[in-house]
């Protein structure tokens, strides 16, 4: 199946498959990026991960030895990477940098991948926003950090939202709705009411549009936000999904690098 759409191109080179945003490809002389697809997988416990990084990075002309990544703990912590480091981050879920040739990597099985690119100041960000990160507005924190550290103007920042669990599959319960209502107020427009299953009311929540709304509230131009419109659960044949595969789920990776 080819996942290309108006915002996304599905690239196949042998058994290396990945998605790229048409908008970011316009700046292909400035940055490289990709969201990996099966069969290559990237969880920390997968013994093939190092070889898979090497393989996809060779295709993308990226030095896999320079990758910056984290164990990711659903925090709202964003790190500014000023130079390559061998430090292995754990309680970090987002990175920004204005340095060239430092590939920033985040990993996924349903959570929301967000690439930020300030095309004027040439600064990138790579943010892992699961529902906890979305609740904590980690993408807003990354944009604020780009403003503080590199004098970025949100109006110049391109936001690319990769494949994630979309409203069609993101079934939640009352406790989830209560948390989001408490943080954001009036979240009714972000969910649909589903069935009552085993005595529990189910809802279907749209995290993508919540993220889009709060990013536009801090000055991101709506026309600069590009959604992949791809649900990881619907497309489990092409990508890892925790909802679909449970504990067997491996990880996709999202990579972005200035060049
Ligand atoms: Zn779906």
CB-neighbour burial class of residue 11 (10 A; exposed 0-12, middle 13-18, buried 19+): middle
Instruction: Look at residue 148 and tell me if it is in a domain.
Output: yes
CA 86 to centroid of ligand 1, rounded, Å: 37
Flag whether pLDDT at 210 surpasses 90: yes
Structural domain including 59 reads: 8-166+224-258
Q: Has residue 1 got a pLDDT over 90? A: no
**Distance in Å, CA 205 to ligand 1 centroid:** 11
Residue 202 has pLDDT above 90, yes or no: yes
pLDDT exceeds cutoff 90 at 207: yes
Residue pLDDT, tens place only, 156-201: 999 999 999 999 999 999 999 999 999 999 999 999 999 999 999 9
Q: How many A from CA of 236 to the centre of ligand 1? A: 9
Does 180 map to a domain?
no
pLDDT at 224: 98
For range 227-237, the mean pLDDT: 98
Residue 96 maps to a domain: yes
Would the pLDDT of 231 be above 90? yes
Q: Please count the structural domains in the chain.
A: 1
Q: Is 26 part of a structural domain of the chain?
A: yes
Confirm whether 202 is domain-assigned. no
CA distances from 60 to 16, 30, 42, 259 (A): 10, 13, 16, 11
CA angle 91, 94, 96 (to 5 degrees): 130
Would you say 124 and 257 are in contact if contact means Cβ atoms under 8 Å apart?
A: yes
The model's pLDDT over 103-161, given as tens digits with 9 standing for 90+, comes to 999 999 999 999 999 999 999 999 999 999 999 999 999 999 999 999 999 999 999 99
77-104: b (≥16 Cβ within 10 Å) or e: bbbbbeebeeeebeebbbbbbbeeebbb
- 87 falls within a domain: yes
Report the separation in Å between the CA atom of 231 and the middle of ligand 1, taken as the mean of its atom positions.
Answer: 5
What is the pTM assigned to this prediction? 0.97
112: in domain: yes
* pLDDT value at 216 more than 90: yes
- Mean pLDDT taken over the chain: 97
What's the CATH code of the domain at 76? Answer: 3.60.140.10
Q: How far is the CA of 204 from the centre of ligand 1 (A)?
A: 10
Q: How far is the CA of 159 from the centre of ligand 1 (A)?
A: 22
State the pLDDT at residue 211: 98
Structure tokens at 162: 């990769």
Q: 30-88 pLDDT, tens per residue?
A: 999 999 999 999 999 999 999 999 999 999 999 999 999 999 999 999 999 999 999 98
What is the Å distance from ligand 1's center to 63 Cα? 34
Q: Cα–Cα distances in Å, from 102 out to 81, 140, 187, 210, 249? A: 8, 22, 38, 30, 28
CA of 234 to the centre of ligand 1 (A): 4
DSSP-based three-state secondary structure for 88: coil
d(CA 109, ligand 1 centre) in Å: 13
The answer to whether residue 201 is domain-embedded is no
CB under 5 Å of ion ligand 1: residues: 168-169, 231, 233-234
Predicted pLDDT at 226: 98
């Amino acid at each position: 199946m080819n996942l290309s759409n108006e915002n996304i191109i599905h690239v196949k080179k042998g058994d290396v498959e990945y998605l790229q945003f048409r908008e970011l490809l316009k700046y292909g002389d400035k940055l490289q990026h990709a969201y990996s697809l099966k069969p290559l997988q990237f969880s920390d416990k997968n013994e093939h991960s190092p070889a898979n990084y090497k393989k996809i990075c060779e295709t993308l002309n990226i030095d896999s030895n320079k990758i910056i990544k984290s164990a990711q703990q659903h925090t709202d912590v964003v790190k500014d990477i000023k130079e390559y480091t061998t430090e292995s981050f754990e309680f970090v879920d987002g990175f920004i940098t204005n340095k060239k040739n430092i590939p920033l990597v985040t990993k996924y099985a349903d959570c929301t991948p967000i690439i930020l690119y300030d095309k004027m100041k040439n600064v990138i960000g790579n943010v892992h926003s699961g529902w906890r990160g979305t609740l904590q507005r980690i993408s807003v924190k990354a944009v604020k950090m780009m403003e503080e550290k590199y004098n970025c103007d949100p109006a110049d920042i391109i936001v690319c939202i990769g494949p994630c669990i979309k409203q069609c599959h993101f079934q939640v319960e009352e406790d989830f709705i209560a948390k989001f209502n408490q943080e954001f107020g009036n979240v009714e427009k972000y969910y649909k009411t589903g069935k009552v299953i085993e005595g529990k009311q189910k809802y279907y929540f749209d995290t993508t549009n919540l993220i889009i709304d709060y990013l536009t509230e801090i000055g991101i131009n709506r026309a600069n936000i590009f959604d992949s419109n791809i649900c990881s659960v619907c497309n489990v044949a092409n990508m890892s999904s925790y909802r679909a595969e449970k504990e067997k789920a491996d990880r996709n990776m999202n990579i972005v690098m200035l060049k």
